Amino acid sequence: MKSSQKIATALVLCAAALFPRFSFAQSIPAAIHAQAAPLPGPYDERGWLDRFYAPRKYAPAWNPQTAAAALWVLRQAPVQGLDPQDYGADDLQQQLRSGHADPARFDVALTTAMLHYLADLRVGRVRSEYHTGKSDARLKRYDPVERLRTGLAAGKLRDAVQAAEPQLPLYAQVKAALAHYRELAQQPYPALPVPQAKVKPGGAYADTQALFERLVLLGDLPADAVRPAEGIYGDKLEEGVRHFQARHGLEEDGVLGRGTVNALNVPPAQRVRQLELTLERLRWLPDFGPGPLIVVDLPAYRLWALQNGGTEAPLEMRVVVGSAVRTETPLFVGQMRYLEFNPYWNVPRSILEKEILPKLARNRAYLKQHDMETVPPDASVADLKAGRARVRQRPGAKNSLGPIKFAMPNPMDIYLHSTSARELFERSRRDLSHGCIRVEHPAALAQYVLGGQRQWTADAIQEALQPGPTKHVDLARSIPVVLFYATAIADGEGGARFAADIYGRDVKLEQELAARRQSSNISAPTSAPRHPR
């Protein structure tokens, strides 16, 4: 018998010891009704318990078999990057084993735990950080009451859990990566020696065998790779280090320096936590249809153009994002609706005040030198300062947006665009913009978003990118765009990529999750009065 089957059988036997009391406890419906109160948390939870129990006239919902099944489900929460203790799994199981629980209160506690678990799995444990264009807008809403009621009635709680999982393929990929790194976290992981100076290929390194084993363990070298010579940092090790550097957002120079070795020494348990935070953020996202989807992972400085509901990624490129010091790019879910070839750059008010006006005070020819103009044309500096006029940059070689802008209308005026500063894409750290996203391959992205419009061939796009008048092109249908934030993400090849927490959002999310844990501790009462037989 498999271990999971043994656990389930034991839970059923424990539950059977508790649930016979139900036939003798005349006050159970009243006890359930008394506890059907609003629950703490980020959901629209008022009335959850009333709506669950009212159709059954406040009769108990659980029997030995279904209670055991529910507890088994809660014990599997780590697979989803969730913690069983956030749902009182140990306390509830202990109540069954001891046989001392108040049956009514146990029933409500188990229902509460399952409602929380389904809702957490569907929409996340804390409120979404994403902007949607509306104040305090939720990306999606979910009512777990009917889902739990249906799953319980059909004896298919596991199906209810599976249906609650986000359907984006990336979620399943990150779950697989999480399982892999949990396994790694169970293995010895001694620290590699950090070199005093950078070690280039052919140089000496104190422990090449440990480095080799680490690269094999992490999947950056194949398991059948030939072991290196003792003490020499050779070509095969360099190959593995380059692969590791690429996965971790480091400069891909193949040099074994302090930063690379420190990254190699990050314990798998920390990577597990990063992947768990990614699953939480994926739960915030809406369900996307089978059409195209653009995802930008800000700390990874990468863009993916997806097809077929996210199962295919025909296009991937590097991006430049907002500066962590001055102008973070916001998290955002929106719709790309049109392109502009040879666009004007309408200078944001913040840039005008902080950068252009001081430069204009020192050099009155600044606007002319940078192909900029005021609107209206005869506006004075006083008009600019007072907000009666604005500045824009004409299309052309000096234009900050380059030859194309990808527009997704939003109150923050965030968009994707090309750039003439191509050298920025060669940097390993690319949080260098004022907030908008600069894309590495604008022509390829234009071809992707205009793919359903036959007149926009590759040649037509190249022609439109040449200097000329501004051209506005509406998309045949809008394309969802997600400005995402993940310091750990699946790479589509069974592994994972990791990035620095450039905006400190992992730290903030950890704090919010800790606060949620303190505010909604779910458990069965440990000293409930026993009902007389």
Catalytic residues: 417, 436
| CA-CA-CA-CA dihedral for 361, 362, 368, 373, to nearest 10 | -20
Tokens of 433: 């913009």
Q: How far apart are CA 276 and CA 121, in angstroms?
A: 12
Residues 6+ apart with CB under 8 A from 171: 165, 279, 282, 283
Q: How far apart are CA 321 and CA 431, in angstroms?
A: 5
3-state SS record for 43-81: CCCCCHHHHHHHHHCCCCCCCHHHHHHHHHHHHCHHHHC
DSSP H helical ranges for 250-351: 258-264, 268-283, 349-351
Helix (H) or strand (E) holding 497: strand 496-498
Q: How far apart are CA 96 and CA 107, in angstroms?
A: 11
Report whether 148 contacts 52 (CB < 8 A). Answer: yes
Place of tokens 């697979």: 79
Length of the chain measured in residues: 533
Report whether 228 contacts 234 (CB < 8 A). Answer: yes
Q: Which residues pair with 416 in a beta bridge?
A: 406, 437
Q: How far apart are CA 292 and CA 169, in angstroms?
A: 13
CA atoms within 13 A on the CB side of 98: 17
Q: How far apart are CA 310 and CA 285, in angstroms?
A: 13
Place of tokens 């009182």: 88
Q: Would you call 28 helix, strand, or coil by DSSP?
A: helix
Amino acid sitting at position 418: S
Q: How far apart are CA 238 and CA 253, in angstroms?
A: 9
DSSP H helical ranges for 89-168: 89-98, 103-123, 144-154, 157-164
Report whether 217 contacts 466 (CB < 8 A). Answer: no
Q: How far apart are CA 442 and CA 416, in angstroms?
A: 9
